[in-house]
Structure 1
Amino acid sequence: MDTAPDTHMPLCNGVDIEDASISQLQQWLQDGRFTATDLTECYLERTRRLNGVLKLARSKWPPSLTRLVNAKIKYARRAVIEPNPDALDIARALDEERMLIGAEVPEDARVIELLRQSGGVLLGHGNMGEWAAMRATYYAAAYSSRGGQCRNPYNLAEHPGDTSCGPAVAVASNMCAFSLGTETDSSVILPADRNGVVGIKPTVTLTSRDGVIPESHNLDTVGTFGRTVEDAAMVFNAIRERPGDPISEVASEHALKGARFGMPWKRIWEKAALDSSAETQYRSLQALISRIRAAGAEVINAEIPSAEDMVPLDGGWDWDYPSKIGHPEQSEFTVVKVDFYNDIKKYLAGLTTNPNNIRCLEDIIQYNIEHTAKEGGVPGTHPAWPTGQDSFESSLAAKGIEDETYHSALSFIHRKTREEGIDAALGCHDKPLDGLLVPVQADGGVAVQIAAQAGYPMITIPVDVGDDGVPFGLAMIQTAFEDDRLIKYGAAIEAVVGGRPRPLFRNIHADNWMYIGPPPKGTVGSAT
């Protein structure tokens, strides 16, 4: 008979490290409570217990960890698709040096290079929703042909937020102390929100995209996940390209005294209030805002003037909604599909090894067709991708041509989300506000989309768990390069909340598909 995996966090040389902050871990390392090797082995053992199928390119593991190879745990999170075979060697070197000085690996992304220089031990590569909405209009959330179905550790029958899901699940499940994620539109903030962790999505260009698989150079950014604001901010400060405020200045709830926040009602809180399925989230978030006021902050109405132009009243996140009503010159996807065609070609051209000779989007599409049983390149041949790769095909049709429609769309989304959007809301009163408070899931993701199109920073703070067993949080948006202000007030709000709930691994026997997007006629499955 099948048995569920052990969900207990293993002790690290006798120390309980579950939910320990990065600062606590560093202190224990300095105090000699355990070594970097002990800590790495602890996280790897946690991954073995919870994650599922993992395969190693080469084995350097001790005998107790070799069961990772071809392990088949049925009820798995599948957050990690490949552990780093050198992790223990790196940890042993850190035990001797306690710092990686000048570590520069040519094939590393810039943010990984910076983490190595800061002494980070990289445990592995997270599972990702494969290309997400860039690949198809209707698809299984958080699924990849390489890693399988990534699941939410709070409720395994619900999806964990799609694109950067594995890194968020790994942090939520205590497989690691922090992780990185990439976002074009919602791919850091949504997984953080649905997995009960802090997510920081920086201002576009504040973290390097060098070495990162691209989607759109106009929107892409690298963000961080942590169990606390301090943890996520500490890692963010390690990878950012401009110096930021020291972590010691992360605020307590006392920093809320005199702070001023805005709540944009039209199309954002309005939708949350009208959606009966989001009733619990709406009530809980409103109660939190009352507590923020009680801590000394002023929270006032601050409308985003362009919200009614950008967001349909009865709809949620949809990056190609304008095209559907005859206005591709106003569509985010008009920009992204052109950028992707060009940016992925440039990225593939820089690979030092390319065994399948994949050089452009045409090659990706053809590969998926030729291996459709696994890759779902043809509609109806794989349950994860009922519509095949129709978004890829839209990008292919655009051919990377930056025509008048492309430039009009880019100008439109920037203007409507920046000067006629977030900036207008922040400056709508006698002095600029300290942030805009918004839901992430209860409004259907539209506030996240507005921040993404603007390229502006956003942070989400875990608040509670909804009726569906999935966490939700309160998010804050600021203007460009005000990331440190978000961190300061995010930490203050976190102190008011009083801590994140731990995952309970509900529905551990779940083995379902979890779809996102509008299902085509005749398709079996439900949209999320």
Structure 2
Amino acid sequence: MLLSSLLAVWGSVSAVHAATLPYTPLPDLFDLTIDDIVTGFAANHFTSVDLVKAYIARIAEVQETLRPVIEVNPEAIEIAQALDIERLNMNKTRGPLHGVPVLLKDNIGTADLLNTTAGSYALYGSIVPRDSTVAANLRAAGAVILGKAGMTEWAFWRSANYTNGWSGRGGQVKGAYYYDQDPSGSSSGSAVAASIGLSTFTVGSDTGGSIISPASTNGVVGLRTSTGLVSRSVVVPITPVMDTVGPIGRTVKDIAYALSGMAGKDPTDNATMAIPFDTIPDYASFCTEDGLQGARLGIPRNIFTAAANRTELDVQQISAFEAVLPILQRLGANITDRANYPNITAYQTQANFNLACNVGFKYAGMDYFKQLRFNPSGITTLQQLINYTMNFKAELYPVHNVDWWQAGVDTNLTLESPEYLDQIALNAWLGSNGTIQGALDNYDLDALVLPSVYSVRPTVYAGYPVITVPLGFFNATTKVIKSTYGPTNATGPGIPFGISFIGRRFDEAKIIQYAYAFEQATQFRYAHLPMPQYMPTTQLNTVRANAPATCPAALGLPY
């Protein structure tokens, strides 16, 4: 749908009347933080309704080119208005997230007028049994669910021959830092939306790097949480042994606020019962500029690509990483170089990601269909999902095949099979004592620090937390390489990359503290901005801060 047609369908409703605007400048929505919102609300400079309308207008500006949002909540303005009334007329504030808009990845269930489809028409029109615990917790904290972000279909668990950010229902999400930029996956839309200010923060999910990789690639902060810190209940799964949910945003402190609103024990997700504390920390209180004083950080260099095999991208990322080590030291960190993973060879040769996903999705994925209150496709088995996908035109089979699903069908393993259980146990050991926990313990460390490109795994196998913060951008001579499948560019000048801190299980407070101190001292996000043609211009104080009273069912349409 062309942007002009989209706006014509929507109509326009004034978001902020010029006569009511303060004379002091309002915050730029590219930079807007939760602290800015709290301050702006307290001074009556703008309202939650103003924010929601401005964000919807910004989404409309970029939707045709970048497709970061798959659906806008038709009740978002009404919800924001109710929260404004709570705050202004009832003098009630639920906390820092009160009235703050958030976009959820399209695999996070909401019991409202929004769809939850994981980017697939196989789930279009389905009705979830209840809000996901994530959505319910955010609502209780006062957040406004603005809509659903685009994503790589089925969180990139269908086959290898489709592109990061592509889904049958949403089309191709693209990043804003280079032409046709591969946004990385699978929380692609969540990261792109955060990067150009389409929502205050977003929520993604991560099984094998789907928060850290897109956050790094789009120049924002992303947190893969410890498995069990945030409930996965009513979130479309790949495999419960590795799935987790986490926030993506423009600043570490926003991530901290979001995490406190999302996390907590949930009797419907047994993994949350492992949380070692009854009260969720105020993670934002750990955001102090001196947070790296005395931190014991280690660099597991044996996870880096060997020097002889490094690509141009490896060289640039490692060079940028080396350049900031003195900054970390000046901020008070004690760095142990070559705090290597003790069993790196075993990890690299024996960890089995695909087996965990093949068997996990075959059962947990299909259990999701079975719990739906309304399941219009009637799918309850993986073979039925394969048949549906092969025959539904918008799913673009065989251009994008179903090989990983077929591997799941072909295996005779179940969740109780000794071979499966043994491999999951081995994966967990390789991701803990064999690597992360082993390095932390052997060198008496608080956390590990490394380029984000090397931080994704082995964190996934044993559920360790990892946060990525902007570090740099690929230089002007970076070779442009097309993605193997689809229309995007996998590499190119100006595309961001990040630095990561990895901590012990449920030690999010510590890595947030370190990441915040680094972020405040460097502010690398502002060293290079998205391409001007991809930057929305709507602001709180412009005439263009207009948005509809109601919204169409889906913004992202298949191409």
Instruction: Report TM bin, short chain.
Output: 0.7 to 0.9
Partner of 1:473: 498
Q: Aligned in 2, Cα 1:272/1:121: closer, same or farther, shift over 3 Å?
A: farther
Supply the distance in 2 between the matched residues of 1:507 and 1:303 (Cα, whole angstroms).
Answer: 43
Equivalent residue of 1:179, what SS?
Answer: strand
What is the CA-CA distance between 1:11 and the residue it aligns to? 9.4
Supply the distance in 2 between the matched residues of 1:231 and 1:154 (Cα, whole angstroms).
Answer: 22
Q: Is the 8 A contact 2:164 2:188 kept in 1?
A: no
Could you tell me which of 120, 125, 129 is aligned with 2:152?
Answer: 129
What is the CA-CA distance between 1:270 and the residue it aligns to? 4.4
| Identical columns (%) | 29
Pair 1:162-2:162 in alignment: no
Partner of 1:286: 322
Q: Is the 8 A contact 2:347 2:434 kept in 1?
A: no
What is the CA-CA distance between 1:482 and the residue it aligns to? 0.9
Partner of 2:103: none
What is the CA-CA distance between 1:273 and the residue it aligns to? 8.6
Partner of 2:367: 346
Partner of 1:306: 343
Partner of 1:58: none
Q: Is the 8 A contact 1:77 1:156 kept in 2?
A: no
Q: Aligned in 2, Cα 1:42/1:3: closer, same or farther, shift over 3 Å?
A: closer
Q: For residues 341-381 of structure 1, what are the alpha-carbon distances to aligned partners after superposition, in whole Å with 9 as ceiling and x for unaligned?
A: 1101211111011112122211110101112x321333xxx
Partner of 2:411: 398
Supply the distance in 2 between the matched residues of 1:111 and 1:272 (Cα, whole angstroms).
Answer: 44
Equivalent residue of 2:315, what SS?
Answer: helix
Given residue 348 of structure 1, which amino acid in structure 2 is its aligned partner?
F
Q: When the two structures are superposed, what TM-score results if normalisation uses the length of structure 2?
A: 0.76
Partner of 1:424: 438
What is the CA-CA distance between 1:278 and the residue it aligns to? 2.4
Partner of 2:426: 412
Supply the distance in 2 between the matched residues of 1:219 and 1:471 (Cα, whole angstroms).
Answer: 26
Supply the distance in 2 between the matched residues of 1:92 and 1:339 (Cα, whole angstroms).
Answer: 41
Q: Aligned in 2, Cα 1:43/1:247: closer, same or farther, shift over 3 Å?
A: same
Supply the distance in 1 between the matched residues of 2:279 and 2:397 (Cα, whole angstroms).
Answer: 44
Partner of 1:497: 522
Q: Is the 8 A contact 1:337 1:400 kept in 2?
A: no
Unaligned runs of 5+ in 2: 5-13, 99-109, 113-128, 265-277, 476-491, 535-559
Partner of 1:456: 464
Q: Is the 8 A contact 1:100 1:116 kept in 2?
A: no
Q: For residues 175-215 of structure 1, what are the alpha-carbon distances to aligned partners after superposition, in whole Å with 9 as ceiling and x for unaligned?
A: 00001001111001111101111101110011001110001
More RCO (CA 8 Å, sep 6+): 2
Could you tell me which of 72, 76, 81 is aligned with 1:92?
Answer: 81
Q: Is the 8 A contact 2:15 2:49 kept in 1?
A: no
Equivalent residue of 1:427, what SS?
Answer: helix
What is the CA-CA distance between 1:3 and the residue it aligns to? 11
Matches within 5 A, 1:301-340: 301=337, 302-311=339-348, 330-340=351-361
Partner of 1:267: 303
Q: Is the 8 A contact 2:347 2:435 kept in 1?
A: no
Supply the distance in 1 between the matched residues of 2:241 and 2:504 (Cα, whole angstroms).
Answer: 16
Q: For residues 42-93 of structure 1, what are the alpha-carbon distances to aligned partners after superposition, in whole Å with 9 as ceiling and x for unaligned?
A: 11111111122xxxxxxxxxxxxxxxxxxxxxxx111101100001111111
Unaligned runs of 5+ in 1: 5-9, 53-75, 312-321, 509-528
Supply the distance in 2 between the matched residues of 1:248 and 1:195 (Cα, whole angstroms).
Answer: 23
Q: Aligned in 2, Cα 1:507/1:408: closer, same or farther, shift over 3 Å?
A: farther
What is the CA-CA distance between 1:168 and the residue it aligns to? 0.9
Q: Aligned in 2, Cα 1:426/1:271: closer, same or farther, shift over 3 Å?
A: farther
What is the CA-CA distance between 1:404 and the residue it aligns to? 2.5
Matches within 5 A, 1:44-59: 44-52=56-64
Partner of 2:545: none
Equivalent residue of 1:413, what SS?
Answer: helix
Supply the distance in 2 between the matched residues of 1:400 and 1:357 (Cα, whole angstroms).
Answer: 24
Of 496-505 and 410-419, more deviation after overlay is shown by 496-505
RMSD: 2.7
Given residue 87 of structure 1, which amino acid in structure 2 is its aligned partner?
A
Matches within 5 A, 1:4-153: 14=21, 15-18=26-29, 19-52=31-64, 76-98=65-87, 107-153=130-176
Supply the distance in 1 between the matched residues of 2:513 and 2:462 (Cα, whole angstroms).
Answer: 21
Q: Is the 8 A contact 1:261 1:299 kept in 2?
A: yes
Q: Is the 8 A contact 1:339 1:400 kept in 2?
A: no
Q: For residues 446-477 of structure 1, what are the alpha-carbon distances to aligned partners after superposition, in whole Å with 9 as ceiling and x for unaligned?
A: x3120111211100011221132211110011
Could you tell me which of 279, 304, 315 is aligned with 1:243?
Answer: 279
Given residue 377 of structure 1, which amino acid in structure 2 is its aligned partner?
Y
Equivalent residue of 1:418, what SS?
Answer: coil
Q: Aligned in 2, Cα 1:273/1:236: closer, same or farther, shift over 3 Å?
A: farther
Partner of 2:251: 228
Equivalent residue of 2:241, what SS?
Answer: coil
Q: Aligned in 2, Cα 1:272/1:32: closer, same or farther, shift over 3 Å?
A: farther
Q: Aligned in 2, Cα 1:505/1:399: closer, same or farther, shift over 3 Å?
A: farther
Q: Aligned in 2, Cα 1:271/1:356: closer, same or farther, shift over 3 Å?
A: farther
Supply the distance in 1 between the matched residues of 2:395 and 2:111 (Cα, whole angstroms).
Answer: 34
